[in-house]
Amino acid sequence: MAMASSEKSHSAPADASWWRGFLRGLARSWAFLLFFAGFFLFWQYAIDLFGIPAYILPRPSEIVTRGWADIDRLLYYTYVTAVESLLGYLVAIVIAVPLGLSIAFSSFLRRTIYPFFVSLEMTPKIAFAPLFISWLGFGLLPKVIIVFLVCFFPVVLNAILAFGSLSEELVRFIRATGASPWRAFFRVRLPAALPQCFVGFKYAAINATVGATIAEFIGSDQGLGFYIQIVTGNMRPDLAFAGIFLLTLLGLALFGAVTLVERWVIPWHISQRRSR
């Protein structure tokens, strides 16, 4: 009897309507929403209170209305920056994961490439940006490379960690079954490594838009980074804030997408469980 009722309560949230879940989420995050609203309200009225001129810091309401007036350009530039970020990000993952995997399993690579990567990790990758622009010009390619550089290291280092830290007990279990390397890889090593890999994916997702923006600052004729620099030069901080707002949304969207994929791929992981 007790069994049956616990069964029910367990499956209930899956059946509940989307709307109920939304309301529950709202109820849980009311403090955050209140803080958020409070922050913008304070900003809005502090401008008048302290007599801050609009060319220094615009009101949130002005950012919205002026930004809206320039929305076509803003949206197109958002698209441009999104393409640069996404391309660099995906290429980084496609290259870094297999590389991290090889380094984790090859003691030779661990002695050669790994220390090289660890020291490169200390180099601010963004310092290479002007060089790539001067070598490759204003186009898409140098931006993708710079985004790639800032995304590559977190992914590769976390992948090495992920594939290299299977618990000793599981390693022994695999050996005791005599499983072939392939079987052991797909049934145990890979799923066990995914949570740590996603730590890298998420970290890289945060870096991606940063890399794209800075690359555009340095040499570009389109994109949100370019836009922010131009409008700031024209004494239009309102438009700069509109650009920053869209960059934030872009970053959130990328991060959110990775989080959704993570929830879908490793629903069993402790970070994904919602205790009820």
Partner 1 sequence: MTAAAIEIRSATKTYASGIEAIHAFGPSSLSVGPGEFISLVGPSGCGKSTLMLMIAGLLDCTSGEIDVGGHVVTAPETSIGIMFQDNTLVPWRTVRGNIELQIELRGLPVAQYRSTVDRLISSVKLDDFADRYPYELSGGMQQRAAFCQTLVHRPQVLLLDEPLGKLDAMTREAIRRDLQALWLADRPTVIFVTHSIEEAIQLSTRVCVISPRPGKIERVIDIDLPWPRDLAIKRSEKFSAYASKIEEIFHGYGVL
Beta carbon of residue 105, minimum distance to partner 1 (angstroms, whole number): 18
Contact 212, 140 (CB under 8 A): no
Contact 219, 141 (CB under 8 A): no
> Which 37-66 positions form the footprint of partner 1 (CB under 8 A)?
none
Which lies closer to partner 1 via its Cβ, residue 206 or residue 266? 266
Which lies closer to partner 1 via its Cβ, residue 20 or residue 175? 175
Residue with tokens 């990328």: 254
Beta carbon of residue 159, minimum distance to partner 1 (angstroms, whole number): 18
Compute the distance between CA of residue 67 and CA of residue 8 in angstroms, rounded to an integer.
50
Which lies closer to partner 1 via its Cβ, residue 179 or residue 206? 179
Beta carbon of residue 172, minimum distance to partner 1 (angstroms, whole number): 5
Given 106, 248, 268, 271, the residue binding partner 1 (CB under 8 A): 268
> What are the E-state strand segments in the chain?
none
Beta carbon of residue 179, minimum distance to partner 1 (angstroms, whole number): 4
Backbone angles phi, psi at 275, to 5 degrees: -75, 135
Contact 223, 212 (CB under 8 A): yes
Which lies closer to partner 1 via its Cβ, residue 174 or residue 254? 174
> Which 184-223 positions form the footprint of partner 1 (CB under 8 A)?
184, 187-188, 191-192
Beta carbon of residue 142, minimum distance to partner 1 (angstroms, whole number): 40
Under the criterion CB under 8 A, does residue 272 sit at the interface with partner 1? no
Which lies closer to partner 1 via its Cβ, residue 24 or residue 172? 172
Beta carbon of residue 189, minimum distance to partner 1 (angstroms, whole number): 11
Given 24, 45, 183, 252, the residue binding partner 1 (CB under 8 A): 183
Which lies closer to partner 1 via its Cβ, residue 9 or residue 17? 9
Given 50, 270, 274, 276, the residue binding partner 1 (CB under 8 A): 270
Per-residue contact string for residues 162-181; x = within reach of partner 1 by CB under 8 A: -----x-xx-xxxxxxxxx-
Which lies closer to partner 1 via its Cβ, residue 48 or residue 168? 168
Which lies closer to partner 1 via its Cβ, residue 193 or residue 208? 193
- The sign one gets for the Cα dihedral 120, 122, 126, 130 is negative
Instruction: Point out which residues bind partner 1 (CB under 8 A).
Output: 3, 167, 169-170, 172-180, 183-184, 187-188, 191-192, 266, 268-270, 273
